[in-house]
Amino acid sequence: MGDKPLISVIVPTHNEERYLGDLLKSIKAQTYKNYEVIIGDYNSSDKTAKIAKKYGAKFLRTTKRGISAGRNVGLKIAKGEIIAFIDADYILSKKLFHNTVLAFAKKENQDVVAIEPTTRVNNKDLNRRDRIKFKILSRLINVYKRISYNFDIPAAYGCVFCRDDALFKAGNFNEDIEICEDKELYSRIRKLGRFIMIKDTARMSYRRHVKEGTLRTGLLYFYSMMVVLITGKFKSRHKPVRGKHD
């Protein structure tokens, strides 16, 4: 990487007008300015495109449903030495880009292929009781993520920064996988080096847990991972927890 590597941020969207502006505002506020933002959109009928253009993001359409398709269409034009896959309902701390670049540049991290921030709770749309519950859950998830980095399938998702050369070797997202599609790709990247977590934060939304139920959401992902551990393969089709499109 150069002294100030370009970060290509890829955000998959489908009708994300309620959340996308918050993410793009937090990106615009970054102290590190050498980045590009690419929106990979599937058939949005709301103001997603208008919001993306307001913040100067490159807006691409994909005719194929799914998170993976949105990310892959962004990858086609991404020019960065660091590729960031960030979901539309995240909010980033101001120095996240800066400290991610510094972390990749450290001599002891030359074998690091992916970096995640520490996750916190985005309180948007949450009542007081849910805020407490998800604050505890978020802390547990951070512990789980760090432990998972030592194994073949890192529990990386939502906001992940990858070295472009490792991503090039590993390949794109598998668009036939609807659940744990991120873990499938990151399991390929993990073969090429280490994953680490830095202290800088990204606030993530638990809107899907609220909508679908925390237990139901957790059981779906648990079942998906059990299929992988037992069969050694990621199942192509599950009933998507994200709903039909988003």
Q: For 7-23, how does the pLDDT look when each residue is reduced to its tens digit (9 = 90+)?
A: 999 999 999 999 999 99
**Where does the chain have alpha helices with state H?**
20-28, 48-54, 67-75, 96-105, 128-148, 164-170, 181-190, 207-212, 214-231
Q: What residue segments make up the domains of the chain, in order of their start?
A: 7-231
Q: For 169-210, how does the pLDDT look when each residue is reduced to its tens digit (9 = 90+)?
A: 999 999 988 788 999 999 999 999 999 999 999 999 887 666
* pLDDT exceeds cutoff 90 at 124: no
d(CA 198, CA 196) in angstroms, rounded, equals 7
Does the domain spanning 7-231 belong to CATH 3.30.300.30?
Answer: no
Contact 119, 139 (CB under 8 A): no
pTM, entire model: 0.89
Closest CA to 10 of 79, 84, 81: 84
Q: For 58-77, how does the pLDDT look when each residue is reduced to its tens digit (9 = 90+)?
A: 999 998 988 999 999 999 99
Question: Dihedrals φ, ψ of 45, to 5°?
Answer: -115, 5
Beta-strand relationship, 194-205 and 90-92: antiparallel
Question: Dihedrals φ, ψ of 116, to 5°?
Answer: -115, 150
Per-residue pLDDT band for 239 (boundaries 50, 70, 90) equals: very low
